[in-house]
Amino acid sequence: MASVREAPAWKFHVFLSFRGEDTRNGFTDHLYAAFRGLGFAVFRDDEELERGEVIALALLEAIEVSLCSVVVLSPRYASSRWCLNELLKILESRAEFGRHVLPIFYDVDPSDVRHQRGSFADAFAKHVERFGSCEVRRWRQALKDVADLSGWTSKDK
């Protein structure tokens, strides 16, 4: 990890990063409720954004003021440019401020995330067409980095 500079004052214990289509009305809702039930301050985009805020800026700031990020990697996570840019910021906060990153592999194998196989390969093929290889290279590396972290899979018993 790079040298850690002074982190901004924290506002949230946990920042939840997830692909809404895959997990918002199920797993992520339960995870959010469990954290809140334990007294954690949790940032989840649909709950914490104030009306009228610029979404991109508010999300990026929320990542910086969260002590840790829980990244729920699901089958369509990589299809979202939004999720991938969030992940870049999460990993940047880890490197700059020493923030913790906790991956959850929901209905995906960590090695498929690491090596971008299956739905991840399909998503990147489309991204290369739309955004070019430079941006996609950064997203690919971010997924490799997060898949290398110790986490949990939904297949764990």
- Structural domain contains residue 3: no
- Structural domain contains residue 84: yes
Confidence at residue 57, expressed as pLDDT on a 0 to 100 scale: 81
Instruction: Write the CA distances from 91 to 6, 65, 68, 80, 95, integer angstroms.
Output: 16, 13, 11, 17, 6
Confidence at residue 81, expressed as pLDDT on a 0 to 100 scale: 87
- Structural domain contains residue 136: yes
Higher-confidence position of 132 and 52: 132
| 32: nearest Cα among 21, 48, 53 | 48
Confidence at residue 45, expressed as pLDDT on a 0 to 100 scale: 78
- Structural domain contains residue 93: yes
Which residues are bridge partners to 66 per DSSP? 12
The domain that holds 82 is classified in CATH as 3.40.50.10140
d(CA 85, CA 117): 20
Average pLDDT, the chain: 87
Percent of the chain, pLDDT > 90?
64
- Structural domain contains residue 7: no
Active site residue 86: yes
- Number of domains the chain contains: 1
Backbone angles phi and psi of 13, in degrees to 5: -75, -40
Confidence at residue 53, expressed as pLDDT on a 0 to 100 scale: 47
| Catalytic one of 64, 86, 92, 96 | 86
- Could you list the residue range(s) of the whole structural domain that residue 115 is in? 12-153
- Structural domain contains residue 4: no
Please write the tens of the pLDDT for every residue from 23-58.
777 899 999 999 999 999 999 876 544 444 455 788
Half-sphere exposure of 61 (CA within 13 A, CB side): 10
Least confident window among 18-32, 106-120, 139-153: 18-32
- Structural domain contains residue 40: yes
- Structural domain contains residue 6: no
Confidence at residue 157, expressed as pLDDT on a 0 to 100 scale: 45
Percent of the chain, pLDDT > 70?
89
Confidence at residue 130, expressed as pLDDT on a 0 to 100 scale: 84
The conformation of residue 148, written as its DSSP 8-state character, comes to T
Please write the tens of the pLDDT for every residue from 70-111.
999 999 999 988 899 999 999 999 999 999 999 999 999 999
